[in-house]
Amino acid sequence: METSIAVIVTAAGSSSRMGGIKKEYCRLPEQKKTLSGLTVLGAAVSAFRGFPHIHRLVITVPAEERGGEQTARACLPPEFLEASAHPTIRFVAGGKTRRASVHCGLSLLASDNPGFVLIHDGARPWVSRLLIERLIDAVQKHRAVLPLLPLTDTPKEVDDSGFVARHLKRNRVAAAQTPQAFAFPAILEAHERAAERERLSGVEYTDDAEIWSEFFGPVAFISGEPENRKITFPEDLS
């Protein structure tokens, strides 16, 4: 593979369900020996180090001064930020929503014009290198791909009045994970079009694969990993 790959790690959210604690900046439990001493963000970033074709990694951070770039830098091991580090790391202030924050990261990468981009939640510290490798292989074939996990509980679609609207088939529904991988120029264009649609109609997009589907078509999937869970509540760190 000759084309370059970039990564966006999202860490601009407010962590509202963590009781005022910025989850990406928390230290991982000591029992996680392979990641001992790392913050959640540090572990999420470390998973992408050492891949020869990943040249740039952008971290989105809160736009306000509290918890911004300076704090995010302090949550990474110093060697991650050295001039010789691979990939090189840059920071960008995020927006008011996750979609807007990802758009900020994509816009920063526009001058690099990578062939593909992987977009990952900074609150998923246990992503494996094998999953990243499988995504890189798949995105070159399909241009848009995400990892999915089968559901163990039977899902229901509900309405606003407190009733079940539809009884969904479990084998036709899955849970999305990150990283999600896309051809770069197209996902940037898709976000630009999504931003315009949000401005005109107030629609809200919460997932990059949803944005790709809206403006470019089908998204392929690979099997996700149960260990690649997202930290949402304080107990998720235990």
Residue 73, token pair as written in the block: 């830098």
* pLDDT above 60 (res 2): no
Give CA–CA dist 198/194, Å, rounded: 6
| Digit-coded pLDDT (tens) for 173-196 | 999 999 999 999 999 999 999 999
* pLDDT above 70 (res 33): no
pLDDT, mean of residues 96-123? 97
CATH number at residue 225: 3.90.550.10
Domain tally, the chain: 1
Name the residue with tokens 């995400």.
146
Give CA–CA dist 115/29, Å, rounded: 36
Which residue range is the domain that position 87 belongs to? 5-237
Give the pLDDT band of residue 207 (cuts 50, 70, 90): very high
pLDDT, mean of residues 77-86? 93
What pLDDT is stored for residue 66 in this prediction? Answer: 57
> The dihedral of CA 125, 121, 61, 64: what is its sign?
negative
Residue 231, token pair as written in the block: 């930290």
Give CA–CA dist 8/132, Å, rounded: 13
